[in-house]
Structures are given as structure tokens and as C-alpha cells.
Structure 1
Amino acid sequence: MRRVVSLFLPNWPVERLRRRLGGDAPPPDAPLVLTGRVGRKRIVTACNAAAAACGARVGMAATQAQALIPGLDVREADPAGDADGLDRLALWAMHRYAPVCQADPPDGLAIDISGAAHLMGGETALLHDLAARLERVGVTGRGVVAPTLGAAHAVARFNGEARIVQDGEIDAALARLPLEALRLPAELPAALRRMGFDRIGDIAHRPRAPLQLRFGAELGRRLDQAYGRAAEPLSPVEAPETPRVERVFAEPIGAAETLARYAGILAEALCGQLESRGLGARRLDWLCYRVDNRIEAVRVGLAQPVRDLRRLSRLLTDRIGTIEPGFGIDRMTLAASAAEPLDWRPAAARLGAEATPDVSMLVDTLANRIGADRLYRLAAVESDVPERSIRKVAALAAPTGMAWSPDWPRPTRLFRRPEPVETMALLPDNPPTHFTWRGVRRRIRRADGPERIFGEWGRRDAEMWAVRDYFQVEDDTGERFWLFRAGDGEDATTGSQAWFIHGLFG
């Protein structure tokens, strides 16, 4: 199932100008327009929100805008710079989100996220991450996911509400949109309106022959692309410096064994390029171009720089099951979209180094099967508060140099949030005699404690006097729990004196 993101950047020329000027940029509330020439006429090509609020609009004569808005800041548009900036933005999106990404000038990007959205936590999370990262650098963006680029492009620009268009919802999503949403030549929507057609739904299901005879083939082509009846392939952006190899086939291929064989051939050629540059791959993008103009993309991540042929080939062949060859594949490319300098010497060959087991292959295999975001290890953090004394790090991240205190053991399972329990204990320092947790009453046979933990007053004033008294307890069945009382058992300002369970021992 194909899923495409269309990212709409409504203020791209103005926001790119502000980023380029940096500290010299005019205030955001100052009216600003960019102008360019159409024939002999100088017109407004872009304007900021302040200028639009004063009446400026794209297509207006520049002299009219200056007469309408006193103190208007007028600057020359830079279409070539805007297009180059879109290409650079597409490269960034390609590195972060999916291997098939292209600029969609003049105001957007197109990203094929088929099979890649789960790496970001789903389509909604991906759109949120994309918009949030752009917002942090001063770029306004609105993304829409749909089964076709035509549908995503239309909804992103002409429907301010929809974000996800599912399969089977294209007709409903497009029916009420204006004809301009189909990316038609400028004169065509006006001609259609003279015939009484105002919305896409007015022409979407009409007989094709009369429309094509009167308005040409472009109208039918754009309709077919939007509804998924005609292919609209994306052309992935490419960085010249990216190590890349390609193979073109005289006859289309599709068998899994053939794909695996050529994956190995491409991996061998790519390893040669990486070796000549002293690099190792951190991410591979394997693109298979089908004869029907669709691209099947496979992205493989690695925990550390690698250029081992056997290892790269295995990681690629593990993903062959995700490739749908259709009527055949006539071209393949393999690129190291992320590469880093590689020290070729094994650890055992370095003077004074101890030979350690290499688990990076296992980490790579698991990460590419279940998702890199689901594979991690735990590292200690300098904090006495249990829930703050641990954090997730990459599976092969360097040692942090921190360790937990051996004075008091910690439970093997720490709850995300402490859960309240009902109990009874003799204050201030005695352990509870029993407790009820999740509807089960447990009698305590043994207990150790209390271990007093104070609040971290440097974080916030509310923790100035906060206290927790922790107890390790064991019930009749031999199960061991980690309980604490909020407060010191005497002073109400130190806590509520309620009891909680915070973890389980092995």
C-alpha cells in the first residue's frame, strides 16, 4: 500500500529569506513582500502575514502594493535560491524520514513513506515530528498523508483540516476541493468554470471522452494521478557526495533469489567505494525501480560504521520480503545515505586492547526487524530519585561512566509511575504489616528499611521538604516488593503519608 506525504510550505520564500538574513531580518510584524517580473510587469510573488493583513496578495502589481501599504519593505524574489533551498530540505527529509523524497516546487516536498512510517511511531507521529522540527527553525509547514501524491498535494493546500487520507477516502477528500487543487494549467480551471464545473467532484466521474475532446488530455491525466489510476513516480533527491552504485537490467527481474544475488553484487561494489574513501556505512538505501514507474525502497540502519560485504548483504536480503516487484524491476540503486570514517582495525589488533564480543551484528539485525527506536539499553543518571536515575541510550552507545550505588539494591522492574496501596504501619519507622495492591491483600513476612530519599530541591521548590521512606518487603509466597511512604511519618509538610508500590524484585 503506497503512502505519500505532501508537505506544503505556504511562506517558504519569505521564511527562507528571514533565515538567510538572520539577525538582519526585518521584524515579523513589519509588512514585507517579494517581487518578480512577469513579462514587463513587476508583481508580488510572496508576502508575509503582516503584508497580507494590510491587503497585499500574490499577483498584485508591486506599485499597487507600495501605494496600498505605507512603509512596505519590498525585496527581490530569488526563485533559484528558493528551489535550491527546497532541494536541501528534501535531502534533510530523505535522511530523516524515508529514502524516496523529492522537492515539489515552488512550495513543498513529496515523501514516499510506504513501509517507513512505523519507524517514527506511525503516520500521525511522523507528521507531528516533521511540522515541529520545521517550526523550531522558523518554517511553517503542513503535511498530509494520502495513497497518491495528487491527493496529498490537493488536500495539503486546499483543506486546512485533513491530515490523514486513508485508502477508499480519496473521493470524499477531493470532491469539495476547487479545480486548482488538481495542478492544472492556469487557464484550464477558468475554462471549466465557464462550463459550470466548480469542484473536483463535478468532473471526477463524468464521461472522459467529451472532457478530453474539449479540454485536452491534461485534465484526465491529473484526475487519474489523484485517484491512483495512473502512476506518478517520485524522483529521489540525490547528494553528489553520497556513495552510490547502480545496476540496470536488460530484462526485468522479480524472483527473490535474483534480488538477493544482485543485492550482494551492489553491496560488493558499494564496499569498494566506501573503502576507497575510508568510510563505513551507517545507513543503506536500496531502491528498486519497477517497470510501472513505482519505486520499492528498503532502508537499513547500522549501529556503527560498517563496510563488511557479508554483513551488509545479509541485512539487505533479510528485507527482500518487503519488496513487491510487480511486473518486474529494471533498475536498482544502493546508496550509503549516511557514512562515517571507519577504523578498519579489529579491537583485538590494537595494542593494549581487550578482545570483547562483537554484538553489533545482532543489534543491527534486531533494530531493522523491530525498529531502532525499540532497541536500547539502560544507563545510570546521577540522581537519588529512582525514576530519574535511569535513561535510555542507544544499544551500542559508549559507556556513560555512571553507575548505581551498591548500598541499597534496586528492583529489577521499576514502574513508570508509583501505584497506591492500602496498608497499615506503626509510624514513623516501622514497615507495614500487610498491603493491598490491585485488589489482592498480601501479608508481609520480612521487611528491610527504611531507606530515606529526599526531594531534589534544585529542581523545584515543592521538593524542598519532600521525603520518601522506602522498604523492601517479602510476602507469604516469597514475592518481594518495593514500597515507600510519601513523607517521614511525622511532619505533614514532608508528604501525604500515603503508601505506594514502586517496583518488583526478581
Structure 2
Amino acid sequence: MGLRPGQKAADAMALAPDLVTADHDPEADRAALEALSDWCVRFSPAVALDGTDGLFLDITGTDHLWGGEAAMMADLLARLARWGVPARAAIADTPGAAWALARFGPRFGEAGEIAPPAGQRDRLADLPVAALRLDATATAQLPRLGLFRIEQILGLPRAQLAKRFGLNLTLRLDQALGAAGEALVYRRPASPWFDRLAFAEPISAPDDLARVVGDVTALICKRLEAEGQGARRFEVVFHRLDGKGMAVRAGLARPGRDAARLTRLMIPKLDVIDPGFGIEVVTVFAADVEPLSAVQARLDAEAGAGLDETLAPLVDRLINRLGEDRVWRADPYESHVPERSVIRRAPLAAPSGQTWDPERPRPVRLFKRPEPITAMAKLPDDPPVQFQWRGRSHRVRRAEGPERIGQEWWRGDFDDTGPGRIRDYYRVEDEAGGRFWIFRQGLFGTGDEPKWWLHGLFG
């Protein structure tokens, strides 16, 4: 129709009076392209965005599922055409060659082209220099010098090309021909631990979805077992006829490959899956893959199971119901500041080997932030004889301390309740038998009135 990107709207309307225009929405365009890339995961687990209107798919090892590269590309383009998404595609040994053939291929009337293995040099020779993905300056200068086609550049000395147009020209040329590598940023990290199931007829019944979860997890677990591996994260994605993908995920406290156990964790989450007009493809991913050997300590496996093995199913259920960030174990950490001496670890992670100092008892419950209290002491440096916390008065019967904890000067934090000032801690017991961990912050005679805080409770 004679239209081109960047053309004035008035000129475009003159060429196409029936042209429908709309405000440009880059964020919506980006979201749509990302949604399309997520849909393309049914063809390849490695999909990368290309600018604002393109996608790279690494189909190495996946084209045989469609009966070859040509059948795979035809299926992809046919699905896009049914949704009203015009597209061109090309398959080549390198991303650069595929990009050039898809956008500047000689057979522009056809939707797709396949370059034979190691044959991209001949296919690229007749293409314009813009097919090399050069910057705007080089794309404009090369034709002024009479260099219109890539074949003309191939015959020139590389040193002079680099000196005149920069290293980017030779780099793009090498990337297109396969002489230099090119790193793509995939939407989903490329992982070999991927499998899929395709159905002759779409499915939508809840029982069918539950059965498919067991079938697809069995596929990936069989591969993991064959290679002596286990995984901590599994994701099953249901791909609908309209292209939308919906995922259910399961996490394990320890690496595993038990398909029945994974199925039990995922089935309760299927109520969020809306099959629409039907599910045609289901894919599964495994992440955090680690070596896992099958070990049986005794003939009676049930009696020989360790504590961690018996706790693992319970921890897995808690993690998948409550969330991974809500199930954790407290471990010691090397810091004398109380609130920094504990870190969160996975519930069944290997012990760090560190322990708290038994000569310095710490409360069973340590508050996230110390709470202010009002305290009375006989002498300035004595433990309190009475304090008031949360509107209730406590008379101290026994006290032990002080334990002085100073600032970590290298951190440079000096907030009111932080460790930026001197603290004198006391372990006190009131008349009712309650035991508290309180401290006085600040020193007398320094011009800063000391304050009392409650930091934790002993059991």
C-alpha cells in the first residue's frame, strides 16, 4: 500500500483513505510481544525477544516433534494467521542469518524460508546491507559508496571495513555467517529439562487435566531418574487454543523425582486453570536440578528413613500451600548483634555448622524490632527493679547482666533502635515467673538520656 514506519499520518491517509489509526502504546505492544513469546514455548523452550516486533526461537532438537523444520514453521505461521497476526519466518544456522532472511528474503511473497545447513552465505549474498542489523549510520553510508548488497561487502578487506565503519560491521557479518557467536537473552532460561504432551483433540474436563499432570510429570521424572538427577522446582503449563498459557508450580524442600508426589502437590492448584475452549498442549519444566542418587540404608525402607525424609512430604505440602517464603528454618549467623545473628534457610537445608555461644543465652522469641518500655533502677548502672510493657507493670525478682553489645562501626547505621549505639542487656524474671530480655541503650553522663527496650522472651 506504500506505507512505511515513521511516515506522516496525513501522507498515509492520502495513500490509504480507509486507513484506521490509533494512538501508539509501546507498553501494550511490549506486553503483547511478551505474551506471544510465552505462547511460542510450545515450539521451543528458548524464546528471545527481538526489538519491538520479532522473536528468536532456538528449535535445536525440537523440530522432529512436528515432522521437520518445514512442517514446524508452517504450523507456527498457520496458527498466527488464524489469529490475524501477519508474520514471516526463516530458519537458519545463526540468529543473524534467520533475521536477515525473515525480513529481507528474496522470496518476499512467501511467508517463510529455510536456509540449508552451512548455506547461509549463499542465501545472504543477494540481500541488502540493511539485513546485517547495522546501525543507522552504516546503513546509510554503505549505499552511498556503491555497496548495496552483502555480497559486495564479503569481497572487501576486513581491516578497511572495520576502520571505516567500525567493528560492529564485521561483528554483525561474522554473526550472520557463524564465524562469531551471539548471546540471546531468553524470556525463560534455556533448560534441557523440558518435555511436552500434545493432544489430537483439546481437553477441558477436570479429571483429564489431573490425569495429564501425572502423565507429563512422569515424563520429566523418568528423564531425571535415567540421568541420576533430581529437581526442586517443577512447572506445568497448560496451553489453550487461544494461545494463552496457564501454569501450576510445585516446589520441593529437597531434590526429588517422584511423579506421584508431584501430582498430589499440583492437583489442588488446578482450580485456577480455565481451559476455555480446550487445552491442546501441556509442557513441563524442571529447575534447580541436582545430582540425586537412589540410596536405601536398610531393607525396611520405612524404618530406615531418616527424620528429614519423613519430614520432607510435610514440608513440601506446607511450602506449596503457604508459599516458599513462609516456611523456613532459623540458623546461626556470625554477628554479635542479636537481630543479625539469625538468618533464614530452607527447612531441610544442610546444617551450616555454626552454633550460638552457650555462655550467652538468647531468648526463644526475639522480636523483629525492640519494643520501648519504662523501667526503674536503684542506681544508674543497675538492672531495673520494675518495668512497664504494653500497659502492664512487672516487678523484677531476679536479674542477670549486664552483657554489653556495641555497634558494628563498619556498617554505619545509627537509628534509634538499631545497633548503632551501646546496649547493656539484662535477663530478668518477674514475680509471675516470666523471663524477659531487656536492654538499656545509651550511657549516662554523655548528654544522651538512656532508654529501655524489651527485645525478646525466654521460654
TM (norm. structure 1) is 0.53
1:94 pairs, out of 180, 183, 188, with: 188
- 1:286-305 equivalences under 5 Å are 286-305=236-255
Counterpart CA distance in 2 for 1:83 and 1:486 is: 60
Aligned to 2:365: 413
Aligned to 1:85: 183
Counterpart CA distance in 2 for 1:269 and 1:263 is: 10
Q: How far apart are residue 386 of structure 1 and its match?
A: 1.0
465-474 or 379-388: which moved more? Answer: 465-474
Instruction: Spell out, residue by residue over 1:91-148, the C-alpha distance to the aligned partner (whole angstroms, 9 max, x if none).
Output: xx525xxxxxxxxxxxxxxxxxxxxxxxxxxxxxxxxxxxxxxxxxxxxxxxxxxxxx
Q: Which runs of 5+ in 2 are unaligned?
A: 1-30, 35-47, 53-123, 145-162
SS in 1 for 2:379: coil
SS in 1 for 2:285: strand
Aligned to 1:67: none
Aligned to 1:473: 428
SS in 1 for 2:353: coil
2:439 pairs, out of 484, 498, 502, with: 484
Aligned to 1:242: 193
SS in 2 for 1:267: helix
Counterpart CA distance in 2 for 1:395 and 1:284 is: 18
300-309 or 451-460: which moved more? Answer: 451-460
Aligned to 1:374: 326
Instruction: Spell out, residue by residue over 1:366-400, the C-alpha distance to the aligned partner (whole angstroms, 9 max, x if none).
Output: 22222212221100112322112111111121101
Q: How far apart are residue 252 of structure 1 and its match?
A: 1.9
SS in 1 for 2:358: coil
Assess if the C-alpha contact under 8 Å between 1:452 and 1:467 holds in 2.
no
- AA at the equivalent of 1:455: G
Aligned to 2:168: 75
In structure 2, do the counterparts of structure 1 residues 57 and 372 end up closer, same or farther at CA, with 3 Å as the change threshold? farther
Structure 2 residue 393 is the aligned partner of structure 1 residue 455: no
Counterpart CA distance in 2 for 1:61 and 1:469 is: 74
2:234 pairs, out of 264, 284, 309, with: 284
SS in 2 for 1:340: strand
SS in 2 for 1:75: helix
In structure 2, do the counterparts of structure 1 residues 293 and 483 end up closer, same or farther at CA, with 3 Å as the change threshold? same
Q: How far apart are residue 249 of structure 1 and its match?
A: 2.2
Aligned to 2:294: 344
Assess if the C-alpha contact under 8 Å between 1:486 and 1:498 holds in 2.
yes
Counterpart CA distance in 1 for 2:343 and 2:427 is: 23
Structure 2 residue 389 is the aligned partner of structure 1 residue 389: no
Counterpart CA distance in 2 for 1:465 and 1:41 is: 63
SS in 2 for 1:288: strand
Q: How far apart are residue 286 of structure 1 and its match?
A: 0.9
Counterpart CA distance in 1 for 2:362 and 2:252 is: 33
Assess if the C-alpha contact under 8 Å between 2:398 and 2:430 holds in 1.
no
- Identity rate of aligned residues, in percent? 37
Q: How far apart are residue 83 of structure 1 and its match?
A: 10
Assess if the C-alpha contact under 8 Å between 2:402 and 2:425 holds in 1.
yes
Assess if the C-alpha contact under 8 Å between 2:308 and 2:348 holds in 1.
no
Counterpart CA distance in 1 for 2:263 and 2:365 is: 38
CA radius of gyration, larger in: 2
Structure 2 residue 446 is the aligned partner of structure 1 residue 499: no
In structure 2, do the counterparts of structure 1 residues 277 and 4 end up closer, same or farther at CA, with 3 Å as the change threshold? farther
Q: Which runs of 5+ in 1 are unaligned?
A: 12-35, 48-55, 65-69, 96-237
Q: How far apart are residue 365 of structure 1 and its match?
A: 2.0
Structure 2 residue 397 is the aligned partner of structure 1 residue 446: yes
Assess if the C-alpha contact under 8 Å between 1:485 and 1:498 holds in 2.
yes
Assess if the C-alpha contact under 8 Å between 1:282 and 1:302 holds in 2.
yes
- AA at the equivalent of 2:238: C
Counterpart CA distance in 1 for 2:434 and 2:342 is: 24
SS in 2 for 1:492: coil
In structure 2, do the counterparts of structure 1 residues 316 and 443 end up closer, same or farther at CA, with 3 Å as the change threshold? closer
1:61 pairs, out of 141, 158, 166, with: 141
Q: How far apart are residue 274 of structure 1 and its match?
A: 1.8
- 1:34-183 equivalences under 5 Å are 60-61=140-141, 73-76=166-169, 77-78=171-172, 80=176, 85-86=183-184, 89-90=185-186, 93-95=187-189
Counterpart CA distance in 2 for 1:505 and 1:4 is: 55
SS in 1 for 2:428: strand
Counterpart CA distance in 2 for 1:71 and 1:497 is: 72
Instruction: Spell out, residue by residue over 1:209-236, the C-alpha distance to the aligned partner (whole angstroms, 9 max, x if none).
Output: xxxxxxxxxxxxxxxxxxxxxxxxxxxx
In structure 2, do the counterparts of structure 1 residues 263 and 44 end up closer, same or farther at CA, with 3 Å as the change threshold? closer
Counterpart CA distance in 1 for 2:281 and 2:130 is: 46
- 1:1-20 equivalences under 5 Å are 6=34
1:323 pairs, out of 253, 256, 273, with: 273
Q: How far apart are residue 295 of structure 1 and its match?
A: 1.5
In structure 2, do the counterparts of structure 1 residues 461 and 268 end up closer, same or farther at CA, with 3 Å as the change threshold? closer
Structure 2 residue 379 is the aligned partner of structure 1 residue 424: no
SS in 1 for 2:237: strand
Counterpart CA distance in 1 for 2:49 and 2:261 is: 39
Q: How far apart are residue 10 of structure 1 and its match?
A: 8.0
Counterpart CA distance in 1 for 2:234 and 2:335 is: 39
Counterpart CA distance in 2 for 1:58 and 1:447 is: 83
- AA at the equivalent of 1:480: R
In structure 2, do the counterparts of structure 1 residues 9 and 390 end up closer, same or farther at CA, with 3 Å as the change threshold? farther
Aligned to 1:101: none
In structure 2, do the counterparts of structure 1 residues 9 and 301 end up closer, same or farther at CA, with 3 Å as the change threshold? same
- AA at the equivalent of 1:396: L
Q: How far apart are residue 39 of structure 1 and its match?
A: 5.5
TM (norm. structure 2) is 0.58
Assess if the C-alpha contact under 8 Å between 1:271 and 1:308 holds in 2.
yes
- AA at the equivalent of 1:413: R
Counterpart CA distance in 2 for 1:503 and 1:327 is: 57
Instruction: Spell out, residue by residue over 1:244-276, the C-alpha distance to the aligned partner (whole angstroms, 9 max, x if none).
Output: 2x3222322212222112222222233222222
